[in-house]
Chains A and B, each alone.
Chain A
Amino acid sequence: MIGYLPGRSSLHRAHPYTPLAVAAGLLFLAFAFRSPAAVWAVVVAAAAFAAAGGVLGAVLRPAAMLALPTWILLTVLHGLLGGPPHLALGPLALSAPGVERALVFGGRIAAILFAFLTALATVAPPRLVEAMTARGVPFGRIYLLVSTLTVVPRMRARVRQIIDAQQCRGLRIGGSPLARVRALGPLVVPLVLSALAEVDEQALALDVRGGSAAGRRTALAPPADHAGDRLVRWTVLVGVVAAYAWKFAGAGR
């Protein structure tokens, strides 16, 4: 999994709402289509989105790691256990409608992963905070969203520290699957306990710094929302509405 990756791409420089809107638009488009070709066209668009942000390489590996088990499961479930007609693939007989369904579902998962990992990698959390503050979003909602976006990198850093500390004390994390499972205890317990302690102190720290204050916060450096950003977001909205209109008109195949 990845978090924000600093860069100078157009997505990094865009208003933070723009990459998020594009990611959300790709998600909706992936579900608007029912044919494998159309869904995989959305996957290609999502990959192009990642490339535009200069993060295609960084996004590819975690997306594949997350998608691959689901693709295998979908292929087994729908391809091998689906109904006729069947296609002969060497010694295997794959269900043609099952394979089509697996391609659609697998494509949707791929598109969602590409889109949202790209948004995560290109939207700097502090800029998103400023953008939301400038729009008058209550701090509680901002914190909820941004802490969710940043939780994975923070947990990874903490896991790394705990692994280092436990290895210094003789913990072996390699070996057989059983040994790896055994090693989880000394890693998970301090991870959970330290996370709980941090939550307590951070709640106090935010409280004394006005985190729970009523009223509108002051945005110190709100990111510029250029006409180009607004055009992209409106285009995404119109595209999604058009795709769903097309779908509900019965032409979505």
Chain B
Amino acid sequence: MTALVTLERVGFRYPGSARPALRDVSVTIDAGTVTGVTGLVGSGASTLLLVAGGFAPRLTGGALTGTRHLATERVGIVFATPWTQLTGLASTVLGEVAFGPASLGRPREAVLAAAERALRDLGVAHLAERDPATLSGGELQRVVVASVLAMAPDLLVLDDPAAELDPAGADGLYALLPSVAARGAAVLVATPDTERLARVADRVLALEDGRLVRAGPATAVLDDTDVARIARAAGCPAPLPLDVAAALGRIAR
């Protein structure tokens, strides 16, 4: 597999902060994979996304130590709050999603085709002519993700992307991530939603106090989900099921 991001002993400190947000993190993010990042608030998960995507310190300020190699400039990022991620310059959802490809100066037909495909992928094609300001938080977040996917990023970075979505919307969004990876992109997603992460992540990184404390397959790292704890208590042999769907599958077998 092709390594898109390589971090070697990377540390990061925000401007004005005495405490490093990341310490001595070494990790490789490969193309065609979904990598999950978990950790408590303040563990450095969001910072790891910003550093891996090349946004920190370029846009945030601060000091980076160690070595970072980012093999692409085509990086998309999605935050938890959709309202701050709109351009505010489009009167329709289609225009909002088309903003990115249009910025690259692609032909009008190609721009619209990319935007329409991204809207279809996110299941929001029916919203194309709506004013973004009239959408619910969940609809808007899917539009934001579509806006980023329309740019066909090599690296897609998502910071708790389902925070504003209802359970069905969150399921739909997470189900989309492996298909994005299957097109050759690397997906890096930070979330406290370990059950959904377990369904889609090829690998999970666990952070504590800015340090990478565990890395490996979801079944090895995410062994403390509610379902896994119940399965362990019930004497279920490893690998433990991490979510309800996996547990039901195990029972069915």
Contacts and interface: CB of A to CB of B under 8 A. Distances in A.
Interface of A: 124-127, 129, 133, 139, 142-143, 146-147, 150, 154, 197-198, 200-211, 213, 215-221
A218 B100 CA distance: 10
Interface residues of B, number: 35
Contacts of A209: 87, 99-100, 103, 147-148, 151
Given A209-B151, A210-B151, A220-B111, A204 B77 contact: yes
A218 B151 contact: no
B90 A218 contact: no
A220 B107 CA distance: 9
Nearest to B75: A208
B81 interface: yes
A210 B103 contact: yes
Nearest to B102: A218
Given A204-B55, A205-B84, A220-B98, A211 B91 contact: no
Question: Which 10 pairs between the two chains have the least Cβ-Cβ distance?
Answer: A210-B103, A209-B100, A126-B91, A201-B84, A205-B85, A218-B102, A215-B105, A129-B89, A198-B84, A213-B103
B18 interface: no
Contacts of B99: 209-210
Contacts of B55: 204, 207
A210 B115 CA distance: 14
A198 B59 CA distance: 14
Instruction: Count chain A CB atoms within 10 A of each CB in B59, B86, B107 and give the residue with the most.
Output: B59
A203 B50 CA distance: 13
B140 to A, nearest CB: 12
Contacts of A147: 88
27 contacts: A124-B91, A125-B88, A129-B89, A133-B102, A146-B88, A146-B89, A197-B84, A198-B84, A200-B60, A201-B79, A202-B88, A203-B59, A204-B59, A205-B77, A205-B85, A205-B87, A206-B87, A208-B153, A209-B148, A209-B151, A210-B100, A210-B103, A215-B105, A217-B102, A218-B111, A219-B102, A219-B108
B86 to A, nearest CB: 8
Contact of A218 (B59, B106, B144, B153): B106
B89 A143 contact: yes
A223 B112 CA distance: 17
B105 A220 contact: no
Contacts of A154: 88
B252 interface: no
Nearest to A146: B89
Contact of B85 (A142, A202, A217, A219): A202
Interface centre among B55, B87, B106 (most CB of A within 10 A): B87
B150 to A, nearest CB: 9
B168 interface: no
A44 B2 CA distance: 69
Interface in B88-132: 88-91, 95, 98-108, 111-112
Interface in B132-152: 144, 147-148, 151
B103 A211 contact: yes
A220 B108 CA distance: 6
